[in-house]
Amino acid sequence: MILMIGLLVLMWVLMMRPQRKKEKEERLFREKLQKGDRVVFSGGIYGKVHSVDTHTVEVEVSNGVVMTVEKGMIQPAPEEKN
C-alpha cells in the first residue's frame, strides 16, 4: 500500500515539474515582451509587437494592420531557418 502511494507521488512529481517549468518560462517571456519582438498567437497568426500594456499587447500582423490581443494568447515565434 505504501509502495503504491509512493509511486503515485513520484509520478505526480515527474509530471508536474516539467509543466511548471514551461509555465514559468512562458510567464517570463510575457513579462519581458517589448516592441519589435516576433510572436505568434495561439491561433497561428504571426506578427511583431507594436506596444505592450498590462494585460494586452498590440501586434502588427501586416503593414499597417495592428491587432490587440491578451498577453496569454501570445507565444514566442519559432526561429526562422534559412
- Whether the pLDDT of residue 76 is over 90: the answer is no
Confidence at 66, pLDDT banded by 50, 70, 90: very high
Q: Provide φ and ψ at 14, rounded to 5°.
A: -65, -30
Q: By the 8 A CB rule, do 58 and 67 touch? A: yes
The answer to the question of residue 55 being in a domain is yes
Question: Is there a domain that residue 59 lies in?
Answer: yes
* In the predicted structure, residue 80 carries a pLDDT above the cut 80: no
b/e for 47-71, b at 16 or more Cβ within 10 A? Answer: bebeebeeeebebbeeeeeeeebeb
Three-class SS of residue 46? strand
Residues across the chain: 82
| CATH number, residue 21 | 2.30.30
pLDDT value of residue 82: 45
Sorting pLDDT into bands at 50, 70 and 90, what band is 72?
confident
Residue 82 lies in a domain: no
Q: Tell me the average pLDDT of the chain.
A: 88
Average pLDDT over residues 29-44: 89
- Show the domain range for 10: 2-76
